[in-house]
């Protein structure tokens, strides 16, 4: 009976708690921390500096992007990818094996060296069918399929050479390490801390926005925002507008700058079917505690307003279907009256 119980639990033990590290090319590495199918973390580094993470936490999936000290977290839509139903072990790459060398060892793993021909080009591979490692790589492939968008699904299979073998080395792609040490569950949680240094960095970035549309980044001619805004609001005059991304006219980020000679007000307009909320809720998702938040309806649309002391600015977000207006000004202000007058809600409702 005891042997039967051990056999039942063996697959669970095999798939639980492992760390797998690959070098993707000369500058990039990919580390996988895997506790179970509901707790998976990929960390991508460039020259040992983290620039991206992919996380599965229970039924949720997240993407974290790093720019300097700022981490921006996005929840991945379940519709972004459709995991390939074909089992990883059944995958058969299209190449011809010309020669094999067996009984080798690579970083302590039993390995073979293959000379293959693929699309008329010869490559040298180091491969392995060591069971614990191959099972770990298959789990990595399954996790990547859940996280990658459909058009990148094939990228998950670069680690698999078929027939029970996985790739240890091909050109600059290289296996670096594998262990089955116990992993702390806290590793698989979204960080909700916004440190003082991150706040200072964010404050510097916001400061650029009060001097130029698109916060000083490259500008393109605006296409929509000026149609939705009034040119003058009391003493405030619209002095400049721009498109911040060179993409099609029906989506993206546009920015407008109002001035009364003494100070400025910024209006950013984000459009597109994936647009969900504005700056306030985005900052909250990154761990910024914002209190109090005024919640009102502006011309029937959900509107949030708050003062952020660490950037000494007031923000108003107006959430429309597929569009968000974010309005902000230095200091503690009441921007609701300005917002109501600045946006041409009649034109918005007919868009």
Least confident of 111-120, 198-207, 294-303: 198-207
Domains of the chain, start order:
2-90+131-188 (no CATH), 196-349 (3.40.1000)
Q: What is the mean pLDDT of residues 186-209?
A: 74
Q: What is the mean pLDDT of residues 17-26?
A: 93
Q: What is the mean pLDDT of residues 17-32?
A: 93
pLDDT tops 60 at residue 44: yes
Round the average pLDDT of the chain to a whole number and report it. 82
Q: What is the mean pLDDT of residues 279-290?
A: 76
In angstroms, rounded to a whole number, what is the distance separating the alpha carbons of residues 318 and 325?
5
Token pair listed for 329: 């000004």
Residue-level pLDDT at 217 = 82
Query: Is 31 within 8 Å of 179 (Cβ atoms)?
Result: no
> pLDDT digit string (tens) for 229-276?
999 999 999 999 998 876 555 567 899 999 998 899 999 998 865 455
Q: What is the mean pLDDT of residues 336-347?
A: 91
Residue-level pLDDT at 21 = 96
Residue-level pLDDT at 309 = 86
Residue-level pLDDT at 317 = 95
Residue (of 35, 58, 34, 54) closest to 43 by Cα position = 54
Q: What is the mean pLDDT of residues 97-118?
A: 93
pLDDT tops 70 at residue 1: no
Residue-level pLDDT at 307 = 93
In angstroms, rounded to a whole number, what is the distance separating the alpha carbons of residues 139 and 36?
9
pLDDT tops 60 at residue 3: no
pLDDT band at 336 (very low <50, low <70, confident <90, very high): very high
Residue-level pLDDT at 8 = 33
Residue-level pLDDT at 193 = 54
> pLDDT digit string (tens) for 64-94?
888 766 677 777 766 555 554 445 455 566 7
Q: What is the mean pLDDT of residues 157-186?
A: 91
Dihedral of the alpha carbons of 165, 168, 171, 173, in degrees to the nearest 10: 110
Q: What are the angstrom distances between the C-alpha of 194 and each of 49, 169, 202, 317, 330?
A: 19, 39, 10, 21, 21
Return the percentage of the chain with pLDDT > 70, whole number.
Answer: 81
pLDDT tops 70 at residue 194: no
Residue 11 region, left (φ>0) first, then alpha (ψ -120 to 50), else beta? alpha
> pLDDT digit string (tens) for 131-165?
999 999 999 998 988 887 766 766 777 898 888 89
Q: Is the pTM of this model over 0.75?
A: no
Q: Which residues make Cβ contacts (< 8 Å) with residue 195, sequence separation at least 6?
A: 69
Residue-level pLDDT at 178 = 96
pLDDT tops 70 at residue 192: no
């Amino acid at each position: 009976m005891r042997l039967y119980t051990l056999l039942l639990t063996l697959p669970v033990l095999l798939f639980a708690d492992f760390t797998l590290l690959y070098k993707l090319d000369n500058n990039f590495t990919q580390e996988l921390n895997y506790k179970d199918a509901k707790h998976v973390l990929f960390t991508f580094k460039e020259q040992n500096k983290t620039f991206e993470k992919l996380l599965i936490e229970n039924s949720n999936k997240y993407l974290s992007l790093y720019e300097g000290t700022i981490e921006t977290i996005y929840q991945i839509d379940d519709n972004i990818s459709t995991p390939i139903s074909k089992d990883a072990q059944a995958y058969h790459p299209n190449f011809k094996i010309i020669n094999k060398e067996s009984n080798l060892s690579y970083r302590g793993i039993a390995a073979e060296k293959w000379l293959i021909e693929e699309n008329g080009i010869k490559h040298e591979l180091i491969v392995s069918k060591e069971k614990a490692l191959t099972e770990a790589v298959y789990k990595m492939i399954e996790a990547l399929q859940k996280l990658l968008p459909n058009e990148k699904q094939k990228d998950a299979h670069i680690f698999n050479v078929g027939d029970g073998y996985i790739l240890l080395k091909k050109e600059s792609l290289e296996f670096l390490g594998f262990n089955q040490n116990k992993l702390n569950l806290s590793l698989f949680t979204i960080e909700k801390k916004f440190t003082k240094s991150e706040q200072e960095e964010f404050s510097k970035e916001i400061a650029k926005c009060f001097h130029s549309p698109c916060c000083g980044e490259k500008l393109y001619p605006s296409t929509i925002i000026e149609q939705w805004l009034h040119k003058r609001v009391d003493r405030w005059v619209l002095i400049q507008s721009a498109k911040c991304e060179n993409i099609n006219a029906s989506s993206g980020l546009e920015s407008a700058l109002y001035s009364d000679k003494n100070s400025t007000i910024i209006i950013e307009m984000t459009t597109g079917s994936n647009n969900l909320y504005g700056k306030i809720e985005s900052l909250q998702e990154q761990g910024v505690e914002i209190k109090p938040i005024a919640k009102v309806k502006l011309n029937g649309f959900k509107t949030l307003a708050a003062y952020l002391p660490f950037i000494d600015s007031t923000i108003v977000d107006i959430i429309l279907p597929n569009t968000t207006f974010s309005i902000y000004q230095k200091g503690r202000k009441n921007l609701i009256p300005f917002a109501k007058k600045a946006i041409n809600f009649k034109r918005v409702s007919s868009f």
